[in-house]
Structure 1
């Protein structure tokens, strides 16, 4: 299925990142008309879809023929690929021969029916990773998850099928690059779009409307977690941190999420977290089930006192950069790509233990000057390193390299 994307103009980013825009225009002079196709699992829910909604139209505006294809698959397929996801992040999970056969079959079917006739095809994450086995082309694998210590058996079984079909493999961190991608792996952090509905500056009227709609008490400090309902995000831990803080300060915990199509187990985990939170009126669950979309997430992050992220595994965690872009400090566990974003003691705190996370949050909430300084530093970190324009430059350089190899 081809995803329709909105029109975007690279010149709109000139005020935020003028040097990046100039370099992007120069980079694409020799790439005009080049067809690039992105393939992923879903058009909605999760960071990959959000990235593509910005990157694809900007590639088009720069003169590339950029398209975005999404897999067509039954729920059983996504149950299997969720197991792949967890195994690649280190969980000990057995994937049966039947499950692997279903995985191969869906990849084969999609290789035949998706529009993949292009100069370069970028495959995102494990779900469509075997498409190159069934369709010739110039492929790049873009891995968005933490593969630093994958389940050995699952990793080898998957990557041995992938071996030899990819020209480049892109990972958030060098720590995630494993055999057989040692020679083609590249450190490749993602980005946020500062002009998207999720990150643009909102008016006071827009903020007030959302505050009232969801009965958020702005008189109390607001601790916000933005995360999918996934065991790796440890939302139980986030609630535990809140409860520790609550012993000292009267605060609210906002848990913000969307239910992704490619994550069936998310519903079960959602119910478990709801039960764990109990009837505490200062814990608010704000999801797409209540009409929370990108604008609402933006508003909630904007009015937050700080961001909290308790994931025990995290490929990158774009929600960290989103929160920091709003000028807010973040308290998080030092895992995966979070370590690239949060500079301990500069724009937030990195702690692992529940009580230490709570103490760090209390320190920021109580010290308004520190909170302000951390917030300024947080926004500047994102501006320099994690905006769309920087990400797009990295993509164009890799695309050019792969395309030129075959000319």
Structure 2
């Protein structure tokens, strides 16, 4: 019911070329008081999706820093449809109005109780990811551990009935971590709320440097014509990612540029049974178009192939209508490829202040943006280059490691002063002043400030200030000590 995941070994020193010596040494300083700390991560699947990718990279590096870290996945068996139920909970947290039956809630609790029975009580910190393992501390007992719920979902406007049923489980946690300030749900029963965006691993097979000839060779081998324009979307097969909207935009583009191709590259995950339904819908759409390709991780298209797609593409599309963060945007920008993406979740954080690509709100806007980028390759490369700089500063794995080390250290009372190298790109935790949108630690000297309800808030960028302007209220749901970017 709980299975350990083998992640191998990694050395933090390998990241010096990406982020510099100061950051690496700063991480070692943060980790020194935590040597031997026992940390457990629990999620639903060892592959497919951003959570598994992050843990696959993060866990061995935390071990290299001296912490005793395990990663376990829940394995409930599918005879009772547990993952179908948790997918419905996931969708409800993103606002799906459909609720769950009482029978579904009974299965959720009873299955969670069986999983909880396998959890031993000898950890200092337990971090559970998303709704699948949410019930564990209530059902197995908190013990002496500090419990953290890491929510990777846009839960800003959850189905209220489902949220009310989940709240008693969430009340058992010491802290909750969200990707953006606006994702904190109303009436959250946790006294400590942190905002920590995710990050990509620049040295994973999906993101490691590969040259253009290798990328071209990989795509040639799987049947893509690398001599013609190529549009790519990489994501789970999920309706929230709007793959049918991507296809509609592609068809508009194809009327103007007949030689253009589209590749939809998706991953199947153990905890997402809806993925097969969406896959079948897409399959019907591409039957008459030889220039539209559908690839999955179950048909031999893995991390290296995704790397090649994102590097060789003329434009990467991520037309999400709801999104947690959308790490594939940072992945494409890191490789120097421009992105056209939906104005959803954490995507504007990655395409903020006019770098990286274009944000869109409809199929027609998506097609127009793609046509502009295809029509002016020099401008597209300039946009992408700015995005690469932003990703290097904010969305690489060492920054995430620093944020999580600081959180764990604070929970355990073993937190040193933050190293200077992390000060410019680390989340504000433990009540530190932070940008209420993205969570980055901020100072009163920031030129981006807003007044609201008699308080002054400071922001790290024009983009974050703009998101706050559009609708300030969701960013104020976290407990007051952690929600504001500065004092009045």
Q: TM-score range by the shorter chain?
A: over 0.9
Counterpart check, 1:291 vs 2:300? yes
Is residue 2:99 matched to residue 1:90?
A: no
Q: Is the contact between residue 344 and residue 350 of structure 1 (CA under 8 Å) also seen in structure 2?
A: no
Aligned-partner SS, 1:254? strand
Aligned counterparts of 1:21 and 1:170: Cα–Cα separation in 2? 24
Residues in 2 aligned to 1:135 and 1:326: alpha-carbon distance in whole angstroms? 45
Aligned to 2:461: none
**Where does 1:72-221 land on structure 2 (aligned, <5 Å)?**
72-75=75-78, 76-115=81-120, 117-133=122-138, 134-136=140-142, 137-163=145-171, 165-178=172-185, 179-181=187-189, 183-204=191-212, 206-221=214-229
Whether the aligned pair in 2 keeps the contact of 1:37 and 1:116 (CA below 8 Å) is: no
1:69–1:115 Cα contact (<8 Å) kept: no
Shift of 1:239: 0.1
Match of 2:69 in 1: 66
Distance 1:181 1:175, change over 3 A: farther
Aligned partners of 2:99 and 2:159 also within 8 Å = no
Offset from partner CA, 1:7-41 (integer Å, 9 cap, x none): 11111101111232121011011000001000000
State the partner residue of 1:255.
Answer: 264
Query: Does the Cα contact within 8 Å between 1:343 and 1:349 map onto a contact in 2?
Result: no
Contact kept? 2:197, 2:400, Cα under 8 Å: yes
Q: Does 1:314 align with 2:326?
A: no
Distance in 2 (alpha carbons) for counterparts of 1:57 and 1:257: 26
Matched-pair contact (CA < 8 Å) for 2:174–2:190 = no
Greater CA drift, 166-175 or 268-277 = 268-277
Question: Where in structure 2 are the equivalents of 1:198-347 lying within 5 Å?
Answer: 198-204=206-212, 206-249=214-257, 250-343=259-352, 345-347=354-356
Distance (Å, rounded) in 1 between the aligned partners of 2:350 and 2:212: 28
Alignment of 1:10 with 2:12, yes or no, is yes
Cα shift at 1:182: 6.4
Pair 1:367-2:401 in alignment: no
Find the aligned partners of 1:344 and 1:228 in 2 and give their Cα distance. Answer: 27
**Residue 201 of structure 1: CA displacement?**
0.8
Contact 1:234–1:311 (CA<8 Å) still a contact in 2?
Answer: yes
Q: Give the Cα separation in 2 of the matches to 1:180 and 1:220.
A: 50
Structure 1 runs, 4 residues or longer, greater than 4 Å off: none
Q: Distance in 2 between matches of 1:95 and 1:287?
A: 30
Task: Identify which range, 268-277 or 42-51, moves more after superposition.
Answer: 268-277
The residue matched to 2:70 in structure 1 has which SS? strand
Structure-2 separation of matches of 1:397 and 1:204: 38
Q: 1:20-31 maps to which residues of 2 (within 5 A)?
A: 20-31=23-34
Picking from 54, 59, 67, the partner of 1:56 is 59
Question: 2:49 pairs with 23, 38, 46, which one?
Answer: 46
**1:381 lines up with 2:375 in the alignment:** no
Within 1, Cα distance between the matches of 2:189 and 2:255?
48
Moved more, 336-345 or 56-65: 336-345
Offset, 1:344: 6.0
- CA positional deviation for 1:67: 0.5
Q: TM-score, normalised on structure 2?
A: 0.81
Q: 1:256-297: per-residue Cα shift (whole Å, max 9, x none)?
A: 011111011211110011112332111111212320111110
Structure 2, unaligned runs of 5 or more: 415-488
Count of residues in Structure 1 that have an aligned counterpart in Structure 2: 405
TM-score (norm 1): 0.97
Report how far residue 114 of structure 1 moved.
3.3
The offset of 1:204, in angstroms, is 4.6
Shift of 1:181: 4.8
Distance 1:15 1:214 in 2: 32
Alpha-carbon separation, structure 2, partners of 1:144 and 1:349: 23
Determine if contact 1:223/1:251 at 8 Å carries over to the other structure: yes
Q: Which runs of 5+ in 1 are unaligned?
A: none
1:225/1:255 contact within 8 Å kept = yes
